[in-house]
Structure 1
Amino acid sequence: MLSVQNLQAGYGASQVLFDISLDIREGEVVTLMGRNGMGKTTTVRTIMGLLGPRGGVVEYDGRAIGGLAPEKVARLGFGLVPEGRQIFPTLTVRENLVATAANRLGAKGPWTLARIYDLFPRLGERAGQLAGTLSGGEQQMLAVGRALMTNPRLLILDEATEGLAPVIRAEIWHVVERLKADGQSILLIDKTFSVLKRLADRHFILEKGRTVWTGTGADLTRDHDRVQGWVGV
């Protein structure tokens, strides 16, 4: 589905990614882990076309997409829940959800407002409320719902539970579990190691802009000491 090989990228004179490799298969949940500043969000921005690659290959279904404009990447079936949520604060909950809604790839049983409200009942209760007046947790739910309304083949969650109350985190993780059960392909960037270990199929760990480890949950247990050094758990 998605293959990233030897990716390099940076900002101005500062190079951030030196050698990132990862892949995601159809229906998989895959994580990107590592301490702050190791290149996780920069990797996502480069995959999404928000930052141009300086080297390496990004392929989607065998097609090179490195350097494509962000809107073209999104139309291929990528749904991003960005770090910091970035909802539209002056639009209502409902308007946020329908603003970018699409089913360009002809998904069977596409996401609708009713399905989003079933997934996140609070959004249904606040459908007419301005998004900027929602709590942080509700805004995160809205960001996830908005991405799902694009009917993505690959959903990318960048720090989807950061800074949230434990009860809201649990709700977000429950939703991710439901999506996984439905076969949604997901790339997760998060620090909740215990949940990621249980939930994801495979893991990639970054250190100073390089992929330094990859494996399954069982591999994480076996290599616990090494992983602890990279992730800080």
Structure 2
Amino acid sequence: MLRVEDLRAGYGSSQVLAGIGFAIGAGEVVTLLGRNGMGKTTTVRAIMGLLPACGGQLRGGRVLFAGQDLAGQPPHRVARQGIGLVPEGRQVFPTLSVEENLTATAANRAGGAPRWTLPEVYRLFPRLAERRRNLGAQLSGGEQQMLAIGRALMTNPRLLVLDEATEGLAPLIRAEIWAVLARLRQEGQAILLIDKTLSAVMRLADRHVVIEKGRVAWSGSTEALAAAPELRETYLHV
């Protein structure tokens, strides 16, 4: 489904990505792991066409999605191919209601009968139904993250990308979001995930890509990662 090949990118004179490569198949959950500043978010920005808006430049490589090279394409064209983003920092529309946030960019990128409609998102996140008339700015951080996930699902994406899925959230909210992601996995939703909660991502994901200084330092299955404590200590400090 998604294949990233020799991705190189940076900001000004700084080279952040120095040849990243990995792939995600249909229905797979894959994580990007690594310490802060190693290039995880820059990788997501490069995939989504967001680097120029963040002062960065794509300097080489390919982002193949369903056979089409999206490298260097603007974000709206990437989204139309069926990649839904839950960005770092949530970035909900603060002056729109919950319902308006959910419907503002709704689409059916996967084709066929849409899986995710407003009632289905409300069933997934009952708290959003309770607050459907509240403005985005009136929600807690956890509620905003639920809204950001629901908004991405409302595009009916073929691939869901989450950058820092549970960062800064209360434990009960984190648990609820992990349960939702587990349900999405069971339903066959392909997911690319960044999160620092290693125990949770190891329960959820099929494979992991560890990034160190803009390169892939290691990649493999959850079983292989669990069996390599020295790798976790070296690259993840756990």
TM-score normalized by the length of structure 2: 0.96
Cα deviation for residue 188 of structure 1 reads 0.5
Given that residues 108 and 114 in structure 2 are in contact (C-alpha distance below 8 angstroms), is that contact kept between their aligned partners in structure 1? no
In the alignment, which residue of structure 2 is the partner of 1:182? 187
Q: How does 1:32-51 map to 2 (within 5 A)?
A: 32-51=32-51
Q: How does 1:21-170 map to 2 (within 5 A)?
A: 21-51=21-51, 52-170=57-175
One-letter code aligned to 2:96? L
Q: Secondary structure at the match of 1:23?
A: strand
Tell me, in whole angstroms, the C-alpha distance in 2 between the residues paired with 1:203 and 1:34. 10
Tell me, in whole angstroms, the C-alpha distance in 1 between the residues paired with 2:112 and 2:50. 25
Indicate whether 1:224 and 2:229 are aligned.
yes
In the alignment, which residue of structure 2 is the partner of 1:2? 2
CA root-mean-square deviation? 0.9
Q: Secondary structure at the match of 2:19?
A: strand
Tell me, in whole angstroms, the C-alpha distance in 2 between the residues paired with 1:57 and 1:78. 16
* Sequence identity (%): 63
Q: Secondary structure at the match of 1:53?
A: strand
One-letter code aligned to 2:227? R
Given that residues 98 and 136 in structure 2 are in contact (C-alpha distance below 8 angstroms), is that contact kept between their aligned partners in structure 1? yes
In the alignment, which residue of structure 1 is the partner of 2:178? 173
Cα deviation for residue 221 of structure 1 reads 1.6
Tell me, in whole angstroms, the C-alpha distance in 2 between the residues paired with 1:25 and 1:178. 18
In structure 2, stretches of 5+ residues that fail to align are: 52-56
Tell me, in whole angstroms, the C-alpha distance in 2 between the residues paired with 1:7 and 1:107. 32
Tell me, in whole angstroms, the C-alpha distance in 1 between the residues paired with 2:77 and 2:177. 28
Tell me, in whole angstroms, the C-alpha distance in 2 between the residues paired with 1:159 and 1:105. 24
Cα deviation for residue 44 of structure 1 reads 0.1
One-letter code aligned to 2:208? H
Q: Secondary structure at the match of 1:15?
A: strand
In the alignment, which residue of structure 1 is the partner of 2:14? 14
One-letter code aligned to 2:19? D
Tell me, in whole angstroms, the C-alpha distance in 1 between the residues paired with 2:191 and 2:8. 22
Q: Secondary structure at the match of 1:54?
A: strand
One-letter code aligned to 1:31? T
Cα deviation for residue 104 of structure 1 reads 3.6
Cα deviation for residue 30 of structure 1 reads 0.3
Q: Secondary structure at the match of 1:17?
A: strand
Cα deviation for residue 210 of structure 1 reads 0.6
Given that residues 107 and 151 in structure 1 are in contact (C-alpha distance below 8 angstroms), is that contact kept between their aligned partners in structure 2? no
In the alignment, which residue of structure 2 is the partner of 1:206? 211
In structure 1, stretches of 5+ residues that fail to align are: none
Given that residues 34 and 40 in structure 1 are in contact (C-alpha distance below 8 angstroms), is that contact kept between their aligned partners in structure 2? yes
One-letter code aligned to 1:73? V
Which shows bigger deviation, 52-61 or 41-50?
Answer: 52-61
Tell me, in whole angstroms, the C-alpha distance in 2 between the residues paired with 1:107 and 1:173. 27
Cα deviation for residue 5 of structure 1 reads 1.3
Cα deviation for residue 222 of structure 1 reads 1.9
Q: Secondary structure at the match of 1:44?
A: helix
